[in-house]
Amino acid sequence: MRPLRLHLEGFASFRDPCDIDFSDAELFVITGPTGAGKSSLIDAMTFALYGSVPRLDARTVFPVITTGKSEARVAFEFAVGDEEYTAARVVRRTKTGASTKEARLERKQGGGGPGAANEGSRNAGDDATSDTETIAGDADSVTVAVESLLGLGFTHFQRCVALPQGEFAEFLRATPAERQDLLVKLLDLELYRRMAKRANALGKEHETRAGYLEAELSSGDLAQMTPELLAAAKKRGKELEALTKTIEKAAPKLEELRRRAEDAEAAREEAEARVRSLATVLPPSDLGETSERWSTAREAVDSARAAKKEAEAHLYKEQSALEALPAAGDLQLLLEAHAQKAASALLVKELEARLTPLQKA
């Protein structure tokens, strides 16, 4: 990345609009007395790119606004290869602090290469023109696009590109060992040290495991493995594989049988419950009396039936005798026999009528 132009207004110590052109210089130095705003220029570039300032909390932006101003504007033009880009942000005060109200990342159409004339430069907050292409249009997407474009996140950018103030002097005065530690800190090389340590530990662990396996191969049953035993083991493996497939194929049928067994078990439990419920049913309290009455009625019916049979036999006897009598007395005897038969039938009906209610009870 190569800086080309920087515009800032209301940012840190730069209350009024300020434009700085770096495009004509291959190498430049920012000098000035303490408090002149040298670090603020680096902060402005970093803020335009990432929306954060190295000296501030990443979530805090209101300190970048100049005291007495309501907003801060920054537009940073830079080149990556042959392409020119502009990163711009506008921060406005709120009741609780400040927030980024506008942000964009644009690519200049037509190029012209680094160091082109400043005819197309625009201030933060200006609308896009036909000679620019908007890559990102809000604070978060601008940060993501810049990280992708430069290949550096905010932390790595401030450690590798914008070295924090004071740490460079510390680096120059340090001993070789101290410089190494400082580089580890600045470039976050401690991560790679930890990775190397972990890799060495894993390597030793695998070496130990490999030695154990080699010892196991050279002793015991594995050392006695012959081609015949190996072939038998392979055959057994194929048999087990075929058995596994058979089991998998039979699994649906086994599942159906299991379901049917569960249904049968449920039916059995239901039947047992019904039997238990029937066992708890108590007989009527007057069952004994009713049974006795039924027996009495039954005896009366049997007696009536016997009387009926006796009457029928007597009637038959009388009819036979009647046939043997002279004709003059036939009618009288027949009437008497008929009356006797009717009386017997009436007696049977009366007894059956008395028996019917008892049977229903």
Q: What is the mean pLDDT of the chain?
A: 78
pLDDT at 309 > cutoff 90: no
DSSP 112-148: --TT--GGG---TTPPP-TTEEEEE-SHHHHHHHHHH
> Of all residues in the chain, what percent carry a pLDDT higher than 90?
18
pLDDT tens string 288-299: 777 777 777 777
pLDDT at residue 118 in the model: 46
What was the pLDDT predicted at 294? 73
Radius of gyration of the chain (CA): 58
The secondary structure element, H or E, covering residue 77 is strand 71-80
Pick from 58, 77, 70, 66: nearest CA to 5:
77
Residue 80's SS3 state is strand
Lowest mean pLDDT among 10-24, 52-66, 81-95: 52-66
Overall average pLDDT of the 99-108 stretch: 90
Q: Phi-psi bin for 213: left (phi > 0), alpha (psi -120 to 50), beta? A: alpha
Top-confidence range, 18-32, 150-164, 176-190, 266-280: 18-32
Question: Is the pLDDT confidence value at 83 over 90?
Answer: yes
Query: What integer pLDDT is reported at residue 117 of this predicted model?
Result: 40
Q: Where are the domains of the chain?
A: 2-151, 289-360
Is the pLDDT at 139 greater than 80? The verdict is yes
- Dihedral, CA of residue 309, residue 310, residue 311 and residue 312, to nearest 10: 50
Predicted local confidence at residue 321, as pLDDT: 59
Q: What is the pLDDT of residues 20-63, one digit of tens each?
A: 999 888 888 888 888 788 888 988 999 999 988 877 665 667 78
Distance, in Å, from the CA atom of 4 to the CA atom of 85, rounded to the nearest integer, reads: 9
pLDDT digit string, tens, across residues 109-119: 765 555 444 44
Long-range contacts of 325-328 (CB under 8 A, 24+ apart): none
Looking at domain 2-151, which of 3.20.20.10, 3.90.1150.10, 2.70.240.10, 3.40.50.300 is its CATH number?
A: 3.40.50.300
pLDDT at 120: 42
